[in-house]
Structure 1
Amino acid sequence: MKLMGAPTKIAAIGEQIGADINKTTVCGKYYDAGMVTMLKLVATKVLHDPLDSDKESIEWSQKTTKANDRMNDLYAVLSEKLPADLKPLLQDFDEAYSTKSAYESEDAFISGFIAGFGYLMGEVAYSDELNFYK
């Protein structure tokens, strides 16, 4: 996942001070990978341990809530109609699907967190008014 164009920014900065562009490009890639790793850790912490413990980190939309209700209704109907020997298979499927959905939500939250940070860095850190890399 590319964060904010850091390798090219770092290479350009290195070039201004006479550093080898190939070496600074490689350093920029390591910097970028490290930033993404750190932001993933921060995003995971924010997601699973929000600052306001009375509030969920993800606000579910009306369409998500509606889809969840539909899934629950279908599960109940299917569970009633299945023979007893197949109910454990439905429960296993539901558990596996729920786990996959939770992982997808986590991945989407983390990707959005990183994309948001990259956007803010592009708007603020590299702006003419406030350039951290001048």
Structure 2
Amino acid sequence: MKLRTREFNRSMVTADNISEISARVSPGITDSGQGLIFGAACYEAGMIEMLRGIAAEALEFGMGNILVTRNTKKALKEQVEKSEELRQNLNEDTLVLLEEYEDATQNAADRDAEDHFVEGFIRGYAYLKRQVEFGTYFGVRGSGG
């Protein structure tokens, strides 16, 4: 089995680096405050991309299976029952088409589940970041308030 690997640049960028980068990339930015706003936006975009990779990697290699809820088990059971009922009423050619359809549907559901996991991971990061910056986090007031 060939493992999917991802490469990340895990080095951190300092405020001085951000100012230098913003001056180089956007020469119209002369105010260091503008540079820091630009840099913060770039940093956040980079962090989100890095989190996407980490979340996908965690889902694929480290998190294990996500538990199936009672409601999902019930829906899956109904899906299997309806599929079996349908299979009994199809000719061979149509049965092949149904199997291809079910494979395509499963692939779409797998991608959807991965996308939702990654998005939840990123939203969790954003939530915790806001709590640290502006709210209370484990009973300690954030630096922003």
Q: More helix per residue: 1 or 2?
A: 1
Q: 1:69 maps to what in 2? A: 77
- Cα distance per residue 1:27-84 (max 9 Å; x no partner): 2221111111111111111111125xxx52x222111111111111111111111111
Corresponding residue SS for 2:32: coil
Aligned-pair Cα RMSD in Å:
2.4
Q: Which has the higher contact order (CA 8 A, sep 6+)?
A: 1
Give the residue type in structure 2 aligned to 1:78: L
2-side partners of 1:82 and 1:98: how far apart?
A: 20
Match of 1:36 among 33, 42, 48: 48
Match status 1:27 vs 2:27: no
89-98 vs 38-47, which deviates more? Answer: 38-47
Q: Runs of at least 4 residues of structure 1 off by over 6 A?
A: none
Tell me which amino acid in the other structure corresponds to 1:30.
C
- Look up the SS of the partner of 1:81 in the other structure: coil
Structure 1 length-normalised TM: 0.73
Change (3 A) 1:102 1:119: same
Q: Does 1:78 align with 2:86?
A: yes
- Aligned equivalents of 1:113, 1:60: Cα separation in 2: 18
After TM superposition, the structure 1 stretch with the greater mean CA deviation from structure 2, 24-33 or 90-99, is 24-33
Q: Percent identity?
A: 25
Could you say which residue in structure 1 is the equivalent of 2:116? Answer: 108
Partner Cα separation in structure 2 for residue 72 and residue 29 of structure 1 = 47
